Amino acid sequence: MSIQLTICLITGIVGGFYLNIPPNPALIFILSLLPFFYLASKRRTKQGPPYFELLAILIVTAVGVFVTGLSTTNTIKVTNMDTTQFWDLKVIEALKPTPYSKRFIANIQFQNGKPTKGKVVLNLTGNHSGSTVIVDDEIVFIGRLEEIPPPRNPHTFDYKGFLAKNGIEYQFRAKNEGQLRIKDRPTRTLYGFAIELRDHIISKLEKQKFGSDEFSVIQALILGKRDAISTNTFDDYKDAGAIHILAVSGLHVGILLLLLEFLLSPLEYIPKGKSIKLILLILLLWSYAFVAGLSPSIVRAVTMFSFFAYAMYLNRPANSFNILGLSMFFILLIHPLFLFQVGFQMSYAAVFAIIWIYPKLQRFWYPENWFIRKSWQLLSVSISAQLGVLPLSLFYFHQFPALFFVSNLLIVPFLGILLGMGILTIVLSLLELVPQHLVIAYDFLIRQMNSLVSWIAQQEGFIFRNISFDAFQMVLGYILVIALVNALSNGNFKRWGLVAIAIIGFHIHGISFLLLVQNEEQLIVGHQTKNSIVLHQKGSNLNIYAGQPKNEITWIKDFAIAEHLDTILYHPIGNTYLFNNRSLYVMDSLAIYPEQADYLMLTYSPKIHLDRLLEQLHPKLVIADGSNYKSSIRRWKESCQKKRIPFHNTSEKGYLSFVSMKGQ
């Protein structure tokens, strides 16, 4: 029953988010159904109409809409985005910093002295980039509210959409010292205490003689802090299919639960020992979550395995699916927007697949030899988890490391030792009692793990990159995985028929997409800082016209993957482009006036009298790309507003795609 209720809750969350339904109508709907639900529960019979079940579905779905509305509703009053206002902020999370800025998520408490609810991103740049703002700080900020910009180029990461799925619509930028003041004696939160404890532990570990790369991996492996990991090390773990090792999540908490279960097993021999053991298990799991900074991934994992610990206490392992559904229901009820996080989706997909597929693989083959049996069990877990996350992984990351089983087979068996040694090192470091030989041994093991991962990642022939995989293919992928596992475990004609349907679906989708691409032509004005870019796509061929064609344009790879491009050619940018009997004129720093142009694109800050040019050309649209000075863009925007001509600034509004055209 918990699985069905969880599906209803998910339906309500998805509907509430994408339809942007406020919480009050959902609450009124729930309250109006409760009397009927009560009456239906009293008159419930096995033979009668399923009124009780239908009302339960409606109520739980409405609860999903309600909690989503609460998570996304803000009371920020936006009258004029250019107006400077006074804001009182509470820092609730520190994001990964960049070399030039620090970023935080903050709750708005007051807007011009009035109580306000809403979440924002706070960017500290310039003089603030070295600021000591920490979680729980309360800040008085003087500045303008800014909207999160949309993707600046096609098929690139949608940061605006990502933040929207975390309940964030706006941001602040603090550049000058006078813009913010940190209050004295802020109110503390549990999350703030957890972050402070984690930072204290890291400061203690820094005194030990760990290698630089090894120490960064230790922080990620034990404490869930990945900021210090170098790009090369991170890419190695990703390419080796072992990136999950660097995120404290379900794998780590599951191993920790097994270790604690073993260490606390003697308690079962004393009166009420099983109950004491359960309480200690849950307390120790949540203590570890606190030490690891109470990050969303660790909170999800500990919540999930707390339910599993209770299931082991009841000795009901057969209810694993219900326990999994119940843990998901509980998490989403409190944090409904977790549903849209990649980590949440992949964690539950992996655990669901392990619970479902692992027993089937064990029934398929059960070796008599102890070593082979244990290796097969470990490999079965890895295969099950990879099958569970494969469609999601292809959709989000567009690559597949074929040697994932090697890295998991060689590392996961020793992960318990690494976790145990890491926790022991932390405890002894806090007590100032850590022996040097323990540090040396632990540093050596982490270095060997890094070397092994690096070697696996260097086997380029086994890493399949740049795989085009859209949302529809992801759904087909899960249908195929489910159908294939069912057919292999208990194959009959109907089950193999579903496999065939899924495969045919892939072929039909691929053929239809290729036909669509072959008949498509579009012109795109892209955004690139200090460069001008015009893309002309016709079928699977792409011509890139750039002011500086030799400069690497990093986002082209994502565009090529999504559009199934075969040929990409670079050319110097020209002045005139024709499409659908319309003309786009690109004016550069030479400022050569055209005789006519339907669309005017300004590049490299030409020194022109735009008002006079607009009177002469009367363009339908003026475009300013990333090659221009901000001062020039502001001046041009004012001129266009006076003439009531639409103005498109790619640094604010992102790329501009002209209407797609059918090939002639």
User: What confidence tens digit (pLDDT) does each residue in 558-597 have?
Assistant: 899 888 888 999 999 999 998 888 899 999 999 898 888 9
DSSP 432-443: T---HHHHHHHH
SS3 content of the chain, % helix, strand, coil (to 5): 55, 15, 30
Cβ-based neighbours of 461, under 8 Å, separated by 6 or more:
none
* pTM for the whole structure: 0.86
Q: Comparing 120-134, 142-156, 294-308, 531-545, which segment has the lowest mean pLDDT?
A: 120-134
- 529-536 long-range CB contacts below 8 Å, 24 or more apart? 529/626, 530/626, 530/627, 531/626, 531/627, 532/573, 532/586, 532/588, 532/601, 532/603, 532/604, 532/625, 532/626, 532/627, 533/573, 533/625, 534/573, 534/577, 534/584, 534/586, 534/601, 535/559, 536/577
What does the pLDDT read at residue 131?
60
Q: What is the mean pLDDT of the chain?
A: 88
> Please, are residues 141 and 160 in contact by the beta-carbon 8 Å criterion?
no
User: What confidence tens digit (pLDDT) does each residue in 456-514 have?
Assistant: 999 888 888 888 898 999 999 999 999 999 888 876 777 888 889 999 999 998 888 88
What does the pLDDT read at residue 321?
87
**Beta bridge pairs of residue 569:** 543
> Please, are residues 305 and 253 in contact by the beta-carbon 8 Å criterion?
yes
> Please, are residues 339 and 14 in contact by the beta-carbon 8 Å criterion?
yes
Alpha helix stretches (DSSP H) within 136-211: 159-164, 190-205
Ranges assigned E (strand) in 406-475: 463-464
How far CA 3 is from CA of 55, 57, 321, 331, 486, in Å, comes to 16, 12, 7, 13, 20
Q: For the chain, give every domain's residue range.
A: 2-72, 85-187, 194-341+416-464, 471-518, 520-662
- Buried-state track 40-65, b at ≥16 Cβ within 10 A, e below 16: beeeeeeeeeeebeebbbbbbbbbbb
pLDDT at 664 over 50: no
User: Of 637, 448, 522, which is closest to residue 154 (Cα–Cα)?
Assistant: 522
Whole-number Å distance between alpha carbons of 235 and 213: 13
Fold of 85-187: OB fold (Dihydrolipoamide Acetyltransferase, E2P) (2.40.50)
The arithmetic mean of pLDDT across residues 341-370, rounded, is: 89
User: What confidence tens digit (pLDDT) does each residue in 404-437 have?
Assistant: 888 888 888 888 889 999 999 999 998 889 899 9
Whole-number Å distance between alpha carbons of 306 and 302: 6
User: What confidence tens digit (pLDDT) does each residue in 100-157 have?
Assistant: 788 999 999 999 889 998 899 998 876 554 467 889 999 998 888 888 888 999 999 9
Whose tokens are 């005194």? That residue is 207
Return the structure tokens found at 609: 């009298």
The arithmetic mean of pLDDT across residues 254-276, rounded, is: 89
Whose tokens are 């206490």? That residue is 313
pLDDT category at 1 given cuts 50, 70, 90 is: low
Torsion, Cα 412 416 417 420, to 10 degrees, reads 150
pLDDT at 657 over 70: yes
What does the pLDDT read at residue 408?
82
What does the pLDDT read at residue 329?
94
Longest dimension (CA), the chain: 95
**Beta bridge pairs of residue 528:** 531
